[in-house]
Structure 1
Amino acid sequence: MKSIIRSRFTIMKKENEQWLVDVKLLEPFERDVLLRLDKLPGDGVNVVKTSMSRTVLHLPQTDDRPGLYLKCHRQRNMRERLLDLLRPSRAEREFNNLLRFEHYALPAPRAIALGQVQRKGEPVRRYLAVEEVTGAKLLPDIIAGKNEQELLALCSDLGKWIAGIHQSGADHRDLQPGNILIRPGEGQERFVLIDLHSLRFDPVMPEHARARALAALAGYLEMAVGMRGFGSFSGAYMKAAHLEFSFAAKLQDAIESARSRRFRSRTARCLVNSSKFIIENSNRRRVYRRRDLHPEALDKITEARNGKSENVTVLSESAGARSKAVRVTLEGKEQIFFVKEFSKPTLAQSLRALFIGPRARREYRAGHGFSVRGISAPEVKACIEGGDFDLLVTEFIENGEQLNNVVHRLFVANRFSGKRDDLKRQRKFIRALADEIRHMHDAGVYHPDLKAKNILVTEEGSTWRFLFVDLADVRFKPPSTRRIIKNLMQLNAGIPYCIGDGLRARFFLRYLRGEKRVERSAMLEEIIRGSSRRVERWRRQIEKAGKRKSP
């Protein structure tokens, strides 16, 4: 690698800047252009990706140089500065790995330049320029335009190519669809690996390391291409790497673990500064909000609570739930938000919040977690903490009704008007509800208060959309059988009487499809017994409350 650097690169220094530049490809290239691009992109320069710590720019090809991708890395906090002192920076690691790939004749873009800008003797900004791979597209873009036979051949070639990469000792550690380019052509030579900052070289990769490395890509192929494409990929990889059939089970376990880690990581992003979310501190209050939410909207919502704003109209308010719909007028446009207010916590609630966080923040995080997992819930907009109250702001679901009201309208209204029940439509509704709850449980989510009042329903043509609310105590962990039974008991006891036993049986059989017959029967018996106990307990509580009110 040192010989490549000596033969291809030259060092350029000026004041607080230092560059390692490819002489042949960038001989007429102006170094100062690189320093300006992330601040003021010039004509023809496209911003490919931007975040709090990195900006990626594309420079089109000219007569003097090839097309380039420029990555600008910034240090966000003291932790990143300390890590850069203990190990090479992300740009340096990727630059070194690109040279290693070039040395071993492995497919990767060509490194062009590496630079850094210092302030008071410490590097605060690093740049990496790589050559553009002409005509290449990302793997997801290629998959979208292929038929089934072409996809099977592509997955097979991809499996053989990755097996060859691993056989050479290269472990990418971030092998995902967005890091694989495909050039025009056929065979394994068309694939190119990018974003090599986390790559490690290990002469011998054990099976568990191979399964971990393949997990993200294999999980994507399983969802995007189907089981046939996934089987073609994994079979070609196992055959090329000379692995036994037991590796398939290890790969499935790694896929589930990788999916859970990805969900947890994406769920927590709403509580840190990022490209989509921001944290603000002012007047002893902390605000978590989406960047696309207008800042003045929160000021007007807070004023609405104090009754000081003319631009806000309170549409509805419930003293028990402490929730209301607020109409905000911004720049001549009217927006409606659903605002949930949490009063000052008690001593016990404050002690609990020390360990698991305030209720408003938990519901804000849970709402984003539902969105990440593809489960329907109102989109969270902001969370305000501090003072005498906490606020949670979410989108307002127009035409949204509680499940109880929809059931009464769908299953009872026709009887009062003298019409016959639409059994086909009722059964379709029951199947859709069962599928949505099964999807939530299969995604590894447990809602401890799954009552009919906590499910909103919107009708979209001939279909329905079910949205879950009151998410403060939601747990993002695969629910046990006991908790699944508890959820189904809550729903069965809370759904109005107008749904008969036949339709209830259809709901449970739809939810439990795929379970063994003996286990399904045992679960149904437990659900029926538990639902009866709940209804009886509610009846006694209502009778006791009535006796207290009577003179």
Structure 2
Amino acid sequence: MQSFQTSPVTPSVAASGVDRSAPAVDSAASDRELCEAMHRADGIVWTCLPPAPPLLDRIPAEAWRDPAGQPGWRCVKRNAARQVWRIRTEAGVFYAKYFREHDWRARAKAVLGRCPCRDEWTCLTYALRAGIRAPRPVALTHALGGGGPRRAVLITEAIEPSAPLDEYWLELRETRGRRRREGVRELCETLAELIAHAHQAGLEHVDMHAANIVVCEQRGASQAAFVDLQSARLGAALPDEAVVRNLAQLNQWFRRHASLADRLRFLRAYLRWRLEYEQLTPFARPLRMSFRELYAALNDAADRHARQLWRR
């Protein structure tokens, strides 16, 4: 389930000179940058990363309580538990995810720091600390009431322009010739790097389907990033079975929409990037499977999943 609607971006060929020969660990945030602070603005107490973002002071409490009544705010996703609003401000574009706290149990969990809003904040700050590409968290609050069920709000910076991986891939597949070959190669590299980095940093995105990864353009190259991380598993080395389980989720969609050659290209890049990150994090470990064994395990997992769907 995707965290936010993204603006469309057209697949393009990577600019020459983009260096992917080494992991992008220099983007990791320091512990000092991730030290949480409390900030009160118009009666709402926010948890944020210092310094407190200006939009907390510029946007009144009533606007946060009534996003539907604000010009330039657009609801991009809605279900029984959550709403996601795209907010355009002078400081940039942000996404506000509203979580409904239906009853006293949900509120008690929020007080104890065990709720979807806090879980996603924790996952995003973990990714930021490790240098894993994901939306940057801005602020959260559990103190938003006003005329209805109590709500928690998580604000993140927008990754724009970008497109969900499934849409990006289908558009890329329609191109031809050199543009398609170079675009596919670039996308396989950035996707493999993102997932290998996460695995070796002890992060497993447990809902890693193609709509929960977005692709954006940075410095002339495509870059993949995770979204909707609230259910990620954190802080533990991934055993081989977890690696297979996680890759199999993504493989379900690409099995139908990508050629065997493209899927094998991605797997080779993933194994290569695992080696690059093997000495860089305390949770990194070698994969005890060969390329052939990994490919066979992913096929077995896909077949098991298909049989489960058939039984339903």
| TM-score of the superposed pair, with normalisation by structure 1 | 0.43
Q: CA deviation at 1:534?
A: 2.5
AA at the equivalent of 2:48: R
2:215 corresponds to: 457
Aligned-pair identity in percent equals 22
- Determine which of 498, 501, 522 is the counterpart of 2:293: 522
AA at the equivalent of 1:368: T
1:126 corresponds to: none
Higher RCO, 1 vs 2 (CA within 8 Å, ≥6 residues apart): 2
Establish whether residue 423 from structure 1 lines up as the match of residue 181 from structure 2.
yes
- Determine which of 210, 225, 232 is the counterpart of 1:467: 225
1:340 corresponds to: 97
Residues 110, 118 of structure 2: 8 Å contact kept: no
- Determine which of 218, 235, 245 is the counterpart of 1:486: 245
Whole-angstrom distance in 1 between the partners of 2:271 and 2:65: 45
1:527–1:354 CA distance, 2 compared to 1 (3 A):
farther
Establish whether residue 499 from structure 1 lines up as the match of residue 258 from structure 2.
yes
Larger radius of gyration: 1
Note the alpha carbon deviations across 1:286-326, whole angstroms, 9 max, x for none.
Answer: 411232401324536x515515865x412342213511201
Note the alpha carbon deviations across 1:398-435, whole angstroms, 9 max, x for none.
Answer: 21111101100111x236xxx68722331232122112
Note the alpha carbon deviations across 1:67-91, whole angstroms, 9 max, x for none.
Answer: xxxxxxxxxxxxxxxxxxxxxxxxx
Residues 288, 382 of structure 1: 8 Å contact kept: yes
- Determine which of 64, 87, 91 is the counterpart of 1:326: 87
- Determine which of 141, 144, 153 is the counterpart of 1:384: 141
- Determine which of 169, 173, 182 is the counterpart of 1:407: 169
Establish whether residue 393 from structure 1 lines up as the match of residue 150 from structure 2.
no
Residues 124, 137 of structure 2: 8 Å contact kept: yes
Whole-angstrom distance in 1 between the partners of 2:118 and 2:300: 36
Whole-angstrom distance in 2 between the partners of 1:540 and 1:280: 53
Whole-angstrom distance in 2 between the partners of 1:267 and 1:532: 46
2:31 corresponds to: 266
Q: For structure 1, which runs of at least 5 residues remain unmatched after alignment? A: 1-222, 225-261, 272-276, 542-551
Q: CA deviation at 1:498?
A: 2.5
1:356–1:292 CA distance, 2 compared to 1 (3 A):
closer
1:495–1:270 CA distance, 2 compared to 1 (3 A):
farther
Note the alpha carbon deviations across 1:45-87, whole angstroms, 9 max, x for none.
Answer: xxxxxxxxxxxxxxxxxxxxxxxxxxxxxxxxxxxxxxxxxxx
AA at the equivalent of 1:480: P
Establish whether residue 533 from structure 1 lines up as the match of residue 304 from structure 2.
yes
1:234 corresponds to: none
Establish whether residue 509 from structure 1 lines up as the match of residue 271 from structure 2.
no
1:298–1:525 CA distance, 2 compared to 1 (3 A):
farther
- Determine which of 192, 199, 220 is the counterpart of 1:441: 199
AA at the equivalent of 1:471: L
1:536–1:324 CA distance, 2 compared to 1 (3 A):
farther
Whole-angstrom distance in 2 between the partners of 1:308 and 1:489: 39
Whole-angstrom distance in 2 between the partners of 1:488 and 1:346: 36
Residues 489, 531 of structure 1: 8 Å contact kept: yes
Residues 266, 369 of structure 1: 8 Å contact kept: no
1:269–1:424 CA distance, 2 compared to 1 (3 A):
closer
Residues 493, 535 of structure 1: 8 Å contact kept: no
Whole-angstrom distance in 1 between the partners of 2:306 and 2:240: 22
- Determine which of 69, 76, 87 is the counterpart of 1:317: 76
Q: Which moved more, 1:430-439 or 1:355-364?
A: 355-364
1:476–1:356 CA distance, 2 compared to 1 (3 A):
farther
Q: For structure 2, which runs of at least 5 residues remain unmatched after alignment? A: 1-24, 276-285
1:473–1:266 CA distance, 2 compared to 1 (3 A):
farther
1:282–1:307 CA distance, 2 compared to 1 (3 A):
closer
SS at match of 2:139: strand
Residues 97, 154 of structure 2: 8 Å contact kept: yes
AA at the equivalent of 1:530: A
Note the alpha carbon deviations across 1:338-364, whole angstroms, 9 max, x for none.
Answer: 111111245665566566522212212
Q: CA deviation at 1:486?
A: 1.2
1:463–1:396 CA distance, 2 compared to 1 (3 A):
same
Residues 326, 339 of structure 1: 8 Å contact kept: yes
Q: CA deviation at 1:465?
A: 1.3
Q: CA deviation at 1:508?
A: 1.4
Whole-angstrom distance in 2 between the partners of 1:318 and 1:350: 23
- Determine which of 49, 66, 83 is the counterpart of 1:306: 66
Whole-angstrom distance in 1 between the partners of 2:297 and 2:310: 20
1:354–1:538 CA distance, 2 compared to 1 (3 A):
farther
